[in-house]
A and B are shown apart, each in its own frame.
Chain A
Amino acid sequence: MDTITNMSYGLSVALQPDNLVWSIFGVLVGNLIGVLPGIGVLTAISILLPLTYAMSPVAAMMMLAGIYYGAQYGGGITSILLNLPGTPTNVPTCLDGNPLARQGKAGSALFMLILSSFSGAIVGITILMLFAPLLAKVAYSFGPAEYFAMITLGLVAGSTLAKGSPVKSLAMVVLGLILGVVGVDVNTGVNRFTFGVTELGDGLSLIAMAMGLFGVADFLSNINLPQRRLPNTDRKGLWAMMRSTRPEPGDVRKAIGPISRGSMVGSALGVLPGTGSLIATFMAYAIEKKISRTPERFGRGAIEGVAAPEAANNSAAQTGFVPTLVLGIPGDPVMALMLGALILHGIQPGPALMVDNADIFWGLIASFFIGNVILVLVNLPLVGMWVKLLSIPYKYLFPFALLCVAIGVYSVNYSLVAVTMVIAFGVMGFVLRKMKFEAAPLLLGFVLGPMFEENFRRALLMSRGDLGVFFVKPISAGFLTVTILLLIWLIVSGMRYRKARFSSAAHRKTEVQ
């Protein structure tokens, strides 16, 4: 029973006081971030990333991972109580969670949120535990062609399926790949795109980029925006919604099906490179609505509409670590940042990670268990406090966050170049956002860029320049076929949109005349 021995080893790592404290800290920060709409997981992780330099790699990963899955819990709370999705993955939860709260059933909705989040996470962790070692065995036989194909699918799917215009997202991925080129070329030792700046020889700093694109750019876009008024933030309104703090009879029985289906969808999509928890959540909701005998209840307070997507996003948040740790291919930008953090600590993700850094791998999994139990314990008592925090005005919040960014990035190696980079990326992120580009695909491209180029070059070196190599090997051919099908589907649906827009525009024009 290898798994049991490994798990008990993992638990002994996770329970070391140092690791335990950081893991709990991360979970609580994540929970808070999830509750606060507007401050995303990416912003939080990038602000805290420099802090991890002082920590052991194990503690660092536990804390950063805790932020990620803690946010999945927290985001559901504001979705239900205030109809504000704390993170994009919580959007489907609003659809039925908020109507439930308005009917005075916030208690049963919150209970269901926590039950399904926890169940989904446990399913995800179990699959991570069982599947990762199997995948690692297969991954040893992967060559550069297979890696290139998988990264390609990850880049295309991860950028185009998430949010915004697919063409713009692809452009951002390519821009990220180009930014990843900056620095010394590992094969020839030539300095590329450094423009004579010595500090750029090591490449652009991931921390500075993430903080600029997600932190500073956020503040630049949100400053002086009128604050959205939050409904029901006073205690009285809250208690009115919490009238029934206990689940309705039959809720748990009704939720078993949605929770198991949601967990399956989430786990499956989490494991695939390029598909993160966002798609899983929406898919789980759609499936429940489709197979329900009473689809008309959805959107009006169906408890299944809370259970399935929350189970899905939490299981996907856990299984997303499979491709990240085992293959070194992150499924979404958050995982890309996680991967970057590992590399910053000098740890190379890949099939050997499980053996070479067993403490990180199994300790991390054990910390997921502990973190999820803590989330269940703290979430209900803290609901009141989380909601109170929502009323902190932005004018106090952003200077605080800006200070953390500045001190954090400067203290990495006391280099002014890093701070300059943060400013540059902040302005760049702001301008890109004005033109409706998403910054997340850029980060994905940047992190995967060096690996992408390296495998591309090596595969073609081995095949003596024959591009057919990518289609001769079955695994590589499979991944590239999926990528091509995805691109065709995007083009077709894009055309359909353009046609619709054009005909509706023409229609409007005739009306005007």
Chain B
Amino acid sequence: MFATVPGRSGNWRRDLLAGVVIVLLGLLTIIEAQSYPTGTLARMGPGYFPVLMGSALVFLGLLIPLVGDPSGGDDEQADDMQVNAVDRTRGFLCIVGGLFAFLLLARFGGMVPAAFTLVFISALGDKSHTVNSAALLALVLTSAAVIVFAWGLQLQFPLFQWG
């Protein structure tokens, strides 16, 4: 019924989705907790507390769309509007991609390639960076990381390594 109210429809749909996600998480918790012994209130097994919490989560999830969100968050909503979907996706993919590259190169490469790649890829997520400026930033920050982390703090993170 709120869906027809102008200006509030976005918030209502958001809260409905939020409630559904919370209910699902609660149900998943309860289902997974079934595989552990529950026990009694006096002698709780490992499954008792998770079932209790999962049920609480389901209850709260049902409550979310009913109660609504008094904080509204309309000003932040306005911020969201200023970033279009393409820029947002680009930023997201570059940051997450950069971290995954770090993950791989930390083990199969060492600190220098891992740090350089992370900064380079993630910086490209910002639309005002060019390939050159991102590479320059990566160079500067990697050198700083070598000085601070490898020499200054003596981390046992090899600068280069294979496999």
Residues in chain A within 8 A of chain B (CB atoms)? 51, 54, 163-165, 167-168, 170-171, 174-175, 177-178, 181, 185, 187-188, 190, 192-193, 216, 219-220, 223-226, 394-396, 398-400, 402-403, 406-407, 410-411, 414, 416, 419-420, 422-423, 426-427, 430, 434-437, 453, 456-457, 460-461, 463-465, 467, 494, 497-498, 501, 505, 508-509, 512
Contact = CB atoms under 8 A, between A and B. Distances in A.
A407 B158 CA distance: 12
Nearest to A410: B106
A274 B141 CA distance: 40
A498 B71 CA distance: 12
B141 A226 contact: no
B100 interface: yes
A92 to B, nearest CB: 18
Contacts of A216: 95, 99
A54 B155 CA distance: 9
Contact of A402 (B2, B22, B95): B95
The 3 closest A-B CB pairs, nearest first, are A465-B42, A223-B91, A465-B41
B103 A192 contact: no
Contacts of A406: 99, 102, 106, 114-115, 118
A307 B28 CA distance: 50
Nearest to B40: A465
Contact of B123 (A175, A224, A399, A435): A399
A225 B79 contact: yes
A403 B88 CA distance: 20
B18 A437 contact: yes
B126 to A, nearest CB: 4
B71 A193 contact: no
Contacts of A174: 53, 56-57, 60
Given A181-B50, A419-B102, A407 B115 contact: yes
A179 to B, nearest CB: 10
A175 B106 contact: no
A190 B36 contact: yes
B5 A396 contact: no
A315 B5 CA distance: 45
B50 A193 contact: yes
B96 A403 contact: no
Contact of A416 (B4, B44, B103, B141): B103
A188 B2 contact: no
B49 A224 contact: no
Nearest to A463: B42
Contacts of A419: 99, 102-103, 106
A423 B95 CA distance: 9
A178 B60 contact: no
Interface bin, chain B: 35 or more
Contact of B95 (A168, A187, A219): A219
A178 B29 contact: yes
B21 interface: yes
Contacts of A395: 123, 126, 128-129
Given A407-B149, A465-B40, A225 B18 contact: no
B162 to A, nearest CB: 16
21 contacts: A54-B153, A167-B64, A168-B69, A188-B46, A190-B37, A219-B95, A223-B91, A224-B127, A395-B126, A395-B129, A399-B119, A402-B119, A406-B115, A411-B156, A420-B103, A435-B21, A436-B14, A464-B42, A465-B40, A497-B68, A498-B68
Interface string B68-102: 11110100000100110001101110011011101
Given A168-B69, A465-B40, 11 more contacts: A164-B69, A175-B22, A178-B29, A216-B95, A406-B99, A406-B115, A422-B99, A423-B103, A437-B18, A457-B44, A509-B5
B71 to A, nearest CB: 5
Contact of A505 (B5, B50, B98): B5
Contacts of B96: 220, 423, 426-427
B86 to A, nearest CB: 9
A378 B114 CA distance: 37
Contacts of B90: 224
A437 B25 CA distance: 14
Query: Chain A interface secondary structure, helix, strand, loop or mixed?
Result: helix
A151 to B, nearest CB: 13
B126 A178 contact: no
Contacts of B53: 174, 177-178, 181
B14 A435 contact: yes
Contacts of B48: 457
B2 A505 contact: yes
Contacts of A453: 49
A143 B136 CA distance: 59
A129 B87 CA distance: 52
Contacts of B122: 219, 398-399, 402
Interface string B144-163: 01000100010111000000
Contacts of A420: 103
Contacts of B57: 171, 174-175, 178
Contact of A407 (B8, B98, B155): B155
Nearest to A227: B128
Nearest to B115: A403
Contact of B157 (A175, A414, A508): A414
A457 B39 CA distance: 11
A460 B155 contact: no
Contact of A411 (B46, B67, B83, B155): B155
Contacts of B29: 178
B137 A396 contact: yes
B54 A178 contact: yes
B109 to A, nearest CB: 12
A219 B123 CA distance: 11
B67 A494 contact: yes
B161 to A, nearest CB: 11
Given A171-B57, A185-B46, A410-B157, A416 B107 contact: yes
Contacts of B114: 406
Nearest to A170: B60
